Structure 1
């Protein structure tokens, strides 16, 4: 295998060297692609030092040297990456020594276009630990609940399998054939300032043949600190609902041009409408998921009635 590791860099000077070193430990990693997104700390200087330190480290910035967000930054990394395989790593996270153990075997099957695994957590600050555990309880492993491949991955991500599949797997534990990304014109939605990863992974699971790798133990580690965006938004708050709405709107618009199975199309539509209605009504207590609608269709009728009466 020859792998390009893409690391978007924004205000990560404190953690970046550890992330890069964790990628360089593998002989399969032929290049680490740093894309610096106009940090306000000294991340750019750290990047420049890492380039000098190891010739495998490549540094890029947006043409206008501006800040464009994680989606555009990862897309620039995809454009610059020159290896057969692509992996991602956040600048405040790191790989473990078993990161590519499964990939080296699974990718011998040429039909496999992507492999995903599990990531662990490391608490770097006490405030970060408290915020993370308040939101996610004491989850030590972000993973799926059972091995899956092919069409079952998309259904699992959308909550349509008989067994609960689990959460979205993390980009840190995803490895892809670059040729498959090019063939399917897959990239991150630059209009989403958050949740670009969930949007990308859902579309990826439809267009590409994915297979689970190591899912019972971590292959990478998420660094949790004071500035993690994922812990700052309260579930079902107006800000949470708005960002979820934009994610599911992106997926809903994507379904118009792609022949998804009807159950997948329906789930995406109903989730999109749920967040749409929650924003229009302003009543988070009426927020409904797809499963809640199935159990009680009256919920959706109540939301429509409330919206109509308050136009």
Structure 2
């Protein structure tokens, strides 16, 4: 195996060395691609030192040296990657020694196009734990049991009860089918949740198989200045970011002729629920009335869905 590990770097001078060295412990890791996204701290200098120290570490920035966010930054990493397999790692997270144990066996089968595993959590400080424990807890982020690849896409959409989630840190993808079937890679229109949208489409187009689900293969490092968690929990209401996410998913799904109608309906319902949730109270009734006329199926089915009702009012 020749694995390219892509690490977007932003405001992570304290953590990126640990991330890089956790990837370099594996002989299967062919290259570590750092893409620095105009960090406000000293991360760029740390990345330069890592690239000088390790032959397998390659450093890139956007052509304009600007800040573009995690999605475009991962896309640049994908453009530069030359390995047969792709793995991702956030700069403040790290791999555990068992990270690619399942992959080494599963990828011997050519029909396996991706493998996902479980993510653990580590709080870098007590303050970070107080701030974000309600979001991450101490549980594994994982799909709860092994599923057939055809069930992963509807499972990620949570169509049939609690399926669980997998993290991009714990995903390994065969590069050739991803490049062939998935374009664009990460949506540049999403500042947040672009990894969730990517995983939705990826799980539809590629056959993804479960790896190690009962213990962590990588760890999410949580600290006070996490870019995504800070924005998601403090500056923007969750419904605001989710309506943007589901708008993107809905636009894609309605244009993809091969997606079954029941799945398209579920996606529209999710989009409608968050969209209505953001509207002022008086406008909500107008939107519900309009959708009862123009999209009766999604509203009717939504009224039987507890998540839909929760976000309406």
After TM superposition, the score normalised by the length of structure 1 is 0.89
Cα distance change, pair 30–268 in 1 and its aligned pair in 2 (3 A): same
Cα distance change, pair 261–45 in 1 and its aligned pair in 2 (3 A): same
Cα distance change, pair 86–290 in 1 and its aligned pair in 2 (3 A): farther
Which residue of 1 is the match for residue 29 of structure 2? 29
Of residues 273-282 and 224-233 in structure 1, the stretch that sits farther from structure 2 once superposed is: 224-233
8 A Cα contact 1:271 1:290, kept in partner? no
In structure 2, distance between residues paired with 1:53 and 1:7 = 17
Which residue of 2 is the match for residue 88 of structure 1? 88
Alpha-carbon distance, 1:298 to partner: 11
The answer as to 2:218 corresponding to 1:220 is yes
Q: 2:304 is paired with a residue of what secondary structure?
A: helix
Extract unaligned runs of 5+ from structure 1.
307-311
Which residue of 1 is the match for residue 171 of structure 2? 174
Structure 1's consecutive aligned runs of 4 or more residues displaced over 4 angstroms after TM superposition are 285-292, 295-300
Cα distance change, pair 81–299 in 1 and its aligned pair in 2 (3 A): closer
Alpha-carbon distance, 1:134 to partner: 2.7
Q: 1:233 is paired with a residue of what secondary structure?
A: helix
The answer as to 2:219 corresponding to 1:209 is no
Which residue of 1 is the match for residue 61 of structure 2? 61
Alpha-carbon distance, 1:279 to partner: 1.2
Which residue of 1 is the match for residue 260 of structure 2? 261
In structure 2, distance between residues paired with 1:296 and 1:122 = 32
8 A Cα contact 1:90 1:172, kept in partner? yes
In structure 1, distance between residues paired with 2:275 and 2:21 = 43
Of residues 177-186 and 93-102 in structure 1, the stretch that sits farther from structure 2 once superposed is: 177-186
In structure 2, distance between residues paired with 1:35 and 1:295 = 41
Cα distance change, pair 148–298 in 1 and its aligned pair in 2 (3 A): closer
Corresponding residue to 1:241 among 227, 232, 239: 239
Which residue of 2 is the match for residue 164 of structure 1? 162
Extract unaligned runs of 5+ from structure 2.
289-297
Alpha-carbon distance, 1:296 to partner: 7.4
After TM superposition, the score normalised by the length of structure 2 is 0.88
Alpha-carbon distance, 1:240 to partner: 1.5
Number of positions where the alignment pairs a residue of Structure 1 with one of Structure 2: 298
Computed over aligned residues only, the root mean square deviation of the Cα atoms, in angstroms, reads 2.7
Cα distance change, pair 282–40 in 1 and its aligned pair in 2 (3 A): farther
8 A Cα contact 1:19 1:95, kept in partner? yes
Which residue of 2 is the match for residue 185 of structure 1? 182
8 A Cα contact 1:106 1:112, kept in partner? yes
In structure 2, distance between residues paired with 1:298 and 1:178 = 37
In structure 2, distance between residues paired with 1:297 and 1:215 = 26
In structure 1, distance between residues paired with 2:20 and 2:233 = 31
Q: 2:214 is paired with a residue of what secondary structure?
A: coil
In structure 1, distance between residues paired with 2:243 and 2:308 = 21
8 A Cα contact 2:302 2:308, kept in partner? no
Which residue of 2 is the match for residue 142 of structure 1? 141
Cα distance change, pair 101–268 in 1 and its aligned pair in 2 (3 A): same
